[in-house]
DNA sequence: AATGCCCACAACCGCAAGGAA
DNA sequence: GTTCCTTGCGGTTGTGGGCAT
């Protein structure tokens, strides 16, 4: 398509802009509006190329640009967005309307990158940390702790957004001792608050389970919601996280402080159509650690693109459940019996993220398979014992594989239920409308 | 005072997408 | 379908100021 650069014309001025040039440019654009950058310099009496004029206007002269020091809140937003979006400066800038992408990029490169690197180093959890923690808590010494998700916690120190996310989870587990205690603490808070003032959703499909708020159920409810229809999923995730994990600091749904769940990304769809969001209890404390952690998870999951779901039966079920998209209640009932959750990140580059659900009741084992393109092969994997999967995770000892948290309940059941989520194009999913695409949602299948 | 280094910021450059001709 | 133009984006470079030696 060869095209001559617009800025290599002889005689055109380069470098810093003078006040006089700024005035000429501003005056012209004020009178004639933006656009037509190629012909603008000549019309405006400037010896600059059009591209230079456009940059000068958009990054410096345009009205409404906020300049100067970044506030702590702005920096926090940038860091959180960057963790999800990477170097998508324009996308990040859209969440800080008064800041330009160039300014944000410069600020990141000069300051924030260093801060994040230092923080990340501190927050990364190592295998030694895990072993110490496991030893300290006596995990594996009795029947109760044998089930702890911490037992097989492996964390990989690696770059990449998924690893960062997983390490965040691991760090949180490290801080709390175990995910069970972490969530139990929050459930206690939640329940005490709900008893007082919080109005629960009345018409939800995935969070109105009559089952108690056990950690497993909470996690399963999250996972269930991840597979809700496109229009509801993000709002439902928000609602679950807000109600169950920050219960002690809830406020009314009109409070917009919960916007951080979307990592600052505009998300109007759930406001419009999600019954969850209508009744959601919103978090009133911004940037609290647990919320931030879970927001990261929610955002990550919500960025999944082209996700398919397959529901099949297990060897313990006489008949596999065939669930239709409009029977979410059924699925919610089924999945509420699952007892654990684990995850493996197999391949950062292809954004694969596997989750293993381990049932606590043999009678209710069944298989969930999401995003599997080759169902036959995936089915074989799903039928493997989860212990085997864990062993593979341990043996591989590769930076490309990480086991986040898993419950070791292999002694209490045979086989496993396996849910696999494939994020097909995480980086391209820069629009919430396109992020959660369940086009072939609940495509029923039977396993051999 | 002179020099060199580092940092922050502005500006530039190359590339790609989208649309018009 | 091809070519060209416009625009936007992200990486890189240039430049000036501050600071240490």
Q: What is the CATH number of the domain that holds A77?
A: 1.10.10.60
Write out the two tokens for A251.
């406020």
What's the domain count of chain A?
Answer: 2
DSSP-assigned states of every residue in A175-236: HHSSHHHHHHHHHHHHHHHHHHTPPPPSS-SSS--SS---HHHHHHHHHHHHTS-HHHHHHH
Q: Is the CB of A105 under 7 A from strand C?
A: yes
Nucleotides of C under 7 A from a protein CB: 3-12, 14-16
Q: Is residue A312 part of a domain?
A: no
Q: Is residue A342 part of a domain?
A: no
Residue nearest to nucleotide C14 (CA to C1'): A15
Boundary-marking domain end, from A137, A172, A194: A137
Boundary-marking domain end, from A61, A83, A114: A61
Q: Is residue A8 part of a domain?
A: no
Boundary-marking domain end, from A96, A115, A137: A137
Q: Which whole-number Å values give the CA distances from A283 to A71, A151, A241, A244, in the listed order?
A: 22, 31, 9, 10
Nucleotide lying nearest to A107, CA to C1' measure: B8
| Mean pLDDT in order along chain A per 10 residues (448 residues) | 40 78 83 79 82 83 78 79 75 78 84 71 41 36 28 29 37 37 40 36 27 37 36 35 32 26 26 27 25 36 28 28 34 33 29 31 28 27 32 28 23 25 29 26 20
Q: Is residue A152 part of a domain?
A: no
Look at residue A112 in the predicted model and tell me its pLDDT: 81
Look at residue A84 in the predicted model and tell me its pLDDT: 66
Q: Is residue A97 part of a domain?
A: yes
| A56/A76 same-domain check | no
Q: What angle do CA A122, A123, A126 make, to 5 degrees?
A: 95
Look at residue A420 in the predicted model and tell me its pLDDT: 26
Look at residue A107 in the predicted model and tell me its pLDDT: 85
| A28/A48 same-domain check | yes
Look at residue A47 in the predicted model and tell me its pLDDT: 82
Q: Which residues pair with A417 in a beta bridge?
A: A357
| A77/A57 same-domain check | no
Q: Is residue A322 part of a domain?
A: no
Q: Is the CB of A2 under 7 A from strand C?
A: yes
Nucleotides of B under 7 A from a protein CB: 7-14, 17-18
Q: Is residue A116 part of a domain?
A: yes
Angle, in degrees to the nearest 10, between helices A161-176 and A289-302: 150
Q: Which whole-number Å values give the CA distances from A440 to A64, A385, A448, in the listed order?
A: 44, 28, 21
| A56/A102 same-domain check | no
Q: Which residues contact A181 (CB under 8 A, 6 or more apart)?
A: none
Whole-number Å distance between alpha carbons of A238 and A230: 14
Closest CA to A331 of A339, A346, A321: A321
Angle, in degrees to the nearest 10, between helices A289-302 and A230-245: 170
- Domain with A46 in it: 19-61
């Amino acid at each position: 398509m060869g095209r001559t650069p617009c800025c290599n014309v002889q005689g055109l001025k380069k470098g810093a802009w003078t006040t006089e040039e700024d005035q000429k440019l501003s005056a012209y654009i004020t009178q004639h509006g933006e656009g037509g950058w190629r012909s603008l310099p000549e019309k405006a009496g400037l010896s600059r190329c059009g591209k230079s004029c456009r940059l000068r206007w958009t990054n410096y002269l345009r009205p409404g640009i906020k300049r100067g020091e970044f506030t702590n809140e702005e920096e926090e937003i940038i860091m959180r967005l960057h963790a999800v979006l990477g170097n998508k400066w324009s996308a990040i800038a859209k969440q800080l309307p008064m800041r330009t992408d160039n300014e944000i990029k410069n600020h990141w490169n000069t300051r924030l990158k260093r801060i994040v690197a230092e923080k990340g180093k501190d927050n990364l959890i190592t295998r030694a940390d895990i072993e110490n923690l496991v030893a300290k808590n006596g995990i594996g010494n009795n029947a109760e702790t044998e089930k702890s998700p911490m037992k097989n916690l492996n964390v990989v120190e690696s770059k990449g957004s998924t690893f960062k996310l997983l390490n965040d989870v691991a760090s949180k587990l490290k801080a709390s001792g175990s995910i069970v205690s972490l969530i139990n603490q929050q459930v206690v808070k939640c329940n005490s608050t709900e008893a007082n003032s919080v109005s629960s959703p009345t018409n939800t499909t995935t969070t109105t389970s009559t089952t108690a708020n056990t950690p497993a159920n909470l996690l399963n409810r999250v996972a269930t919601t991840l597979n809700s229809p496109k229009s509801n999923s993000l709002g439902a995730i928000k609602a679950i996280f807000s109600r169950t994990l920050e219960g002690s600091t809830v406020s009314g749904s009109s409070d917009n402080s919960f916007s951080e769940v979307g990592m600052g990304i505009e998300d109007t769809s759930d406001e419009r159509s999600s019954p969850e969001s209508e009744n959601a209890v919103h978090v009133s404390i911004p940037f609290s650690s647990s919320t931030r952690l879970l927001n990261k998870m929610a955002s990550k999951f919500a960025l999944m693109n082209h996700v398919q779901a397959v529901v099949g039966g297990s060897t313990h079920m006489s008949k596999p459940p065939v669930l239709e998209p409009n029977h979410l209640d059924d699925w919610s009932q089924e999945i509420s019996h699952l007892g654990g959750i684990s995850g493996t990140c197999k391949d950062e580059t292809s954004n694969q993220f596997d989750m293993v659900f381990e049932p606590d009741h043999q009678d209710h084992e069944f298989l969930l398979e999401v995003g599997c393109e080759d169902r036959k092969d995936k089915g074989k994997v799903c039928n493997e014992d989860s212990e085997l999967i864990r062993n593979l995770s341990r043996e591989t000892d590769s930076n490309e594989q990480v086991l986040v948290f898993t419950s070791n309940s292999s002694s209490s059941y045979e086989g496993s239920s396996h849910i696999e989520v494939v994020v097909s194009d995480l980086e391209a999913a820069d629009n919430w409308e396109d992020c959660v695409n369940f086009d072939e949602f609940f495509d029923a299948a039977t396993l051999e």
